[in-house]
């Protein structure tokens, strides 16, 4: 059996992904140890796990440095790589939204709507689809500060519990799309490592669907 490399997005999604792999019979005990190692192996050495920044997961998969991976749909939309999205893993549910002050019209101070976002491509595509010309300002985090500090009129960001918006006096103005974690696969690996990749994809699907 050929070893499969699985890229996991460090942070919120990795923990849940490991839980599912555990249920699939993958010995994930070595992954639960408190370590700063970025490459780890399951107990049987069938799988190699790499822990990468969420935004880099699609790159590792597209380039074949990893065969499979778990990443949020938000990252897939933003990175737009040539990879297979195999399964909706149904965890990490949240939504991509436009948010701002409840009375948006009062907050618009310039002709062009100013939008702060970590998701520049998503924001650009969304407003282009509506035919609205916007000024997108890329931020790498704490995006809610945009409207609060007057840098922008609105933000395009993910909303999970809504607590960050609420704590900063902002509300959801428009929902762009629903998001959740996805299982992704390298296009070549699906052919060349079919016997290793497909059974795991099927097992994960069974667990996710509760079968």
Q: Note the residues at the interface with ligand PRP (CB under 6 A).
A: 141-144, 157-164
Choice between 164 and 205, CB closer to ligand PRP: 164
Choice between 141 and 210, CB closer to ligand PRP: 141
Shortest distance, CB of residue 55 to ligand PRP, whole angstroms? Answer: 11
Choice between 24 and 145, CB closer to ligand PRP: 145
Residue 122 three-state SS: helix
Distance separating alpha carbons of residues 68 and 13, to the nearest angstrom:
14
CA distances from 107 to 9, 23, 84 (A): 36, 49, 41
Choice between 68 and 97, CB closer to ligand PRP: 97
Choice between 65 and 173, CB closer to ligand PRP: 173
Composition of the chain by helix, strand, coil, percent to 5: 35, 30, 35
Nearest to 67 by CA among 53, 88, 46: 46
Give residue number: closest CB to ligand PRP. Answer: 141
Q: How many CB atoms lie within 10 A of CB 66?
A: 27
Shortest distance, CB of residue 177 to ligand PRP, whole angstroms? Answer: 15
- Residue 162 burial by Cβ neighbours in a 10 Å radius (0-12, 13-18, 19+): middle
- Contact in structure between 97 and 159 (CB atoms under 8 Å): yes
């Amino acid at each position: 059996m050929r070893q499969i490399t699985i890229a996991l997005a460090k942070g919120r999604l990795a923990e849940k992904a490991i839980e599912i792999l555990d249920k699939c019979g993958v010995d994930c005990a070595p992954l639960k140890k408190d370590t700063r190692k970025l490459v780890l192996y399951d107990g049987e050495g069938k799988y190699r796990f790499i822990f990468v920044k969420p935004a880099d997961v699609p790159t590792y998969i597209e380039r074949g440095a990893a065969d499979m991976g778990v990443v949020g749909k938000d990252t897939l939309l933003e990175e737009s790589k040539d990879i297979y999205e195999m399964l909706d893993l149904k965890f990490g549910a949240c939504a991509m939204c436009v948010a701002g002050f409840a009375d948006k019209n009062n907050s618009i101070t310039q002709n062009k709507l100013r939008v702060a976002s970590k998701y520049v491509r998503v924001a650009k595509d969304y407003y282009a689809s509506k035919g609205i010309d916007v000024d997108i300002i890329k931020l790498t985090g704490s995006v809610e500060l945009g409207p609060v500090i007057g840098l922008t009129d609105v933000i395009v960001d993910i909303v999970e519990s809504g607590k960050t918006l609420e704590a900063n006096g902002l509300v959801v103005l428009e929902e762009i799309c629903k998001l959740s974690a996805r299982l992704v696969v390298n296009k070549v690996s699906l052919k060349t490592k079919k016997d290793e990749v497909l059974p795991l994809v099927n097992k994960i699907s069974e667990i996710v669907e509760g079968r």
